[in-house]
């Protein structure tokens, strides 16, 4: 399973340097050496992939986020197998890095290798999670609470229409056009209801659009969509596990989400000024950054605990601190930290997406690709209709709002993953969801730029 190809064996032969692999004895005491090595090497490839991919797509006039995702796909399970995280059907033996690390540790058995693989996976998954938490903190920090509250009803309309569209037409199409079966079709139609707030916000940020009315409407809608996404996921899981849907559970979730969002909105000035008062007497450098992150992680934990997502907590923390005098200073200090952690999220997301399922030469391969395009189309129609349904008399680039809500991402992957691992969804349907994610992520920056260009041209006329 972990056979070492003879052609690489000359690199550094696994000679036992010291009697009894002496330094391995270190492991229990401080750090597990092979794990640290895996993490260092993974980060090396993650940053290399992020930079190379980002640079290329940027030159092509696309967003660098796309390049980071594609770079992740290249170093990930789809192609080079360098950055490999455990997942359904993905084994320790799939990781090329692990086979490489193994060259330097002759004493490792099967169980140790499984342990190293699992541990590096957890570490990368958590770093990636910290990356997206930080991203949402940044988005919150750059948001405008008053504007978000103002657009809340509009955002609700966008989300309602934008979710119903794909769910309804997607389900019908999958059942009657493609002959898919229930409940798999329901999973595949539900997956695209979840927008990837991380990818969407990053693209907005990249186009310097985050603070515009359209940007704030998209952010507000994405927050609401995240909550409805959790609700839909809960219902879906209830159905798939055969235990039914607990109405009390759903009600609890809705109430706790509402309490959390309204609470952090209403109390934001109070909490914000308490935070600044706490910060003022600090003398040591780094106090602002460290306490802000403690605040962000603390609220993230709180949100996660009441069954919301940690992302929502980080976003709320950002919103709260956006109303304080530390905002611009914190934004400035957060920038390099985000540059460090956020790409890990995009590369790891790309690395986890198994593009090998999209094989047009496999039997039925074209049908999968067509299903994916169909799902992406339902998403586009749903989101853009949602944007045009917004009741407002203000000038609003509705096309940009709709297009900005396109990106599917990790939540869609999760829904598909739950579907497949519960045995209720075929791997073809799951691959179609991957295809839909790919299409929306690639098209969003291109279409968004076009939509904005039309707008600025219209404004110039």
Query: Does 33 contact a second copy by CB under 8 A?
Result: yes
Q: Rounded to whole angstroms, what are the CA distances from 183 to 350, 417, 424?
A: 27, 14, 6
Query: Does 427 contact a second copy by CB under 8 A?
Result: no
Query: Does 9 contact a second copy by CB under 8 A?
Result: no
Residues contacting residue 328 through CB under 8 Å, at least 6 positions apart? none
**What span, in angstroms and rounded, lies between the C-alpha atoms of 120 and 340?**
18
Query: Does 389 contact a second copy by CB under 8 A?
Result: no
Token pair listed for 453: 């260009």
| Window 241-260: residues binding a second copy (CB under 8 A) | 241, 243-246, 249, 252-253
**What span, in angstroms and rounded, lies between the C-alpha atoms of 386 and 80?**
40
Query: Does 26 contact a second copy by CB under 8 A?
Result: yes
**What span, in angstroms and rounded, lies between the C-alpha atoms of 276 and 291?**
10
How far is it between the farthest Cα atoms of the chain?
Answer: 80
| Window 44-73: residues binding a second copy (CB under 8 A) | 44, 47-48, 50-51, 54-55, 58-59, 64
Query: Does 238 contact a second copy by CB under 8 A?
Result: yes
Beta bridge partners of 87: 90
| Window 298-337: residues binding a second copy (CB under 8 A) | 298, 300-301, 304-305, 307, 310, 333-337
Q: Write the DSSP string, 409-421.
A: -HHHHHHHHHHHH
| Window 125-164: residues binding a second copy (CB under 8 A) | 125-126, 129-130, 133
Query: Does 284 contact a second copy by CB under 8 A?
Result: yes
Residues contacting residue 69 through CB under 8 Å, at least 6 positions apart? 53, 199, 346, 347, 349, 350, 353, 441
Contact (Cβ atoms closer than 8 angstroms) between residue 116 and residue 37: no
| Interface pick for a second copy out of 117, 169, 297, 345 (rule CB under 8 A) | 297
Which of 5/284 has CB closer to a second copy? 284
Q: Which residue shows structure tokens 């219902």?
A: 235
Which of 119/450 has CB closer to a second copy? 119
Candidate ranges 23-31, 259-267, 372-380, 446-454; the one touching a second copy (CB under 8 A) = 23-31
Query: Does 119 contact a second copy by CB under 8 A?
Result: yes
Query: Does 41 contact a second copy by CB under 8 A?
Result: yes
**What span, in angstroms and rounded, lies between the C-alpha atoms of 35 and 418?**
28
CA atoms within 13 A on the CB side of 257: 21
Q: Give least dist CB 109 to a second copy, A.
A: 17
**What span, in angstroms and rounded, lies between the C-alpha atoms of 348 and 129?**
10
Count the site residues for a second copy by CB under 8 A: 90
Q: Give least dist CB 53 to a second copy, A.
A: 10
Q: Give least dist CB 197 to a second copy, A.
A: 14
Which of 242/363 has CB closer to a second copy? 242
Which of 255/373 has CB closer to a second copy? 255
**What span, in angstroms and rounded, lies between the C-alpha atoms of 150 and 216?**
10
| Interface pick for a second copy out of 234, 265, 323, 385 (rule CB under 8 A) | 234
Q: Nearest to residue 414, comparing CAs of 352, 365, 362, 372?
A: 352
x-or-dash string of contact with a second copy, 77-116, rule CB under 8 A: ----------xx---------------x------------
């Amino acid at each position: 399973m972990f056979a070492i190809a003879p052609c690489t064996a000359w690199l550094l032969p696994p000679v036992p340097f010291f009697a009894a692999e002496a330094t391995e004895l270190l492991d229990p005491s401080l750090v597990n050496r092979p794990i640290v090595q895996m993490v260092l090497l993974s980060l090396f490839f993650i940053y290399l992939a992020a930079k190379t991919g980002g640079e290329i797509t940027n030159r092509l006039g696309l967003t660098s986020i796309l390049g980071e995702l594609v770079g992740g796909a290249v170093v990930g399970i789809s192609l080079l197998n360098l950055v490999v995280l455990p997942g359904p059907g993905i084994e320790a033996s799939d990781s090329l890095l692990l086979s490489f690390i193994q060259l330097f540790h002759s004493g490792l058995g099967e169980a140790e290798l499984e342990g190293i693989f699992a541990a590096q996976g957890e570490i990368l998954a958590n770093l990636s999670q910290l990356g997206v938490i930080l991203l949402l903190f940044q988005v919150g920090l750059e948001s405008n609470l008053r504007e978000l509250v103002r657009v809340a009803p509009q955002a609700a309309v966008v989300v309602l229409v934008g979710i119903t569209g794909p769910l309804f037409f997607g389900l019908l199409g999958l059942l009657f056009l493609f002959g898919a079966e229930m409940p798999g079709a329901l999973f595949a139609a539900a997956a695209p209801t979840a927008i990837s707030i991380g990818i969407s916000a990053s693209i907005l940020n990249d186009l310097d659009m985050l603070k515009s009315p359209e940007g704030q409407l998209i952010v507000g809608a994405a927050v609401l969509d995240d909550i409805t996404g959790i609700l839909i996921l809960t219902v879906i899981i209830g159905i798939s596990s055969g235990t039914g849907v607990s109405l009390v559970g759903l009600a609890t979730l809705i109430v706790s989400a509402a309490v959390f969002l309204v609470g952090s909105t209403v109390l934001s000035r109070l909490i914000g000024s308490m935070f600044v008062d706490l910060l003022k007497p600090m003398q040591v450098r780094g106090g602002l950054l460290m306490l802000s992150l403690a605040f962000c992680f603390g609220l993230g934990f709180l949100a996660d605990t009441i069954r919301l997502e940690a992302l929502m907590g980080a976003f709320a923390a950002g919103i709260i601190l956006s109303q304080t005098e530390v905002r611009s200073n914190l934004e400035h200090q957060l920038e390099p930290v985000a540059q460090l952690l956020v790409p890990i999220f995009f590369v790891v997301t790309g690395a986890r997406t198994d593009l090998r399922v999209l094989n047009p030469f496999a039997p039925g391969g074209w049908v999968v690709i067509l299903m994916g395009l169909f799902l992406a189309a339902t998403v586009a129609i749903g989101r853009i209709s949602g944007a045009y349904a917004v009741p407002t008399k203000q000038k609003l680039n509705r096309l940009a709002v709709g297009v900005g809500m396109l990106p599917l991402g990790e939540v869609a992957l999760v829904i598909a993953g739950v579907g497949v691992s519960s045995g209720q969804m075929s791997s073809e349907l799951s691959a179609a969801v991957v295809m839909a994610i790919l299409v929306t992520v690639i098209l969003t920056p291109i279409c968004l730029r076009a939509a904005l260009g039309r707008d600025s041209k219209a404004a110039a006329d």
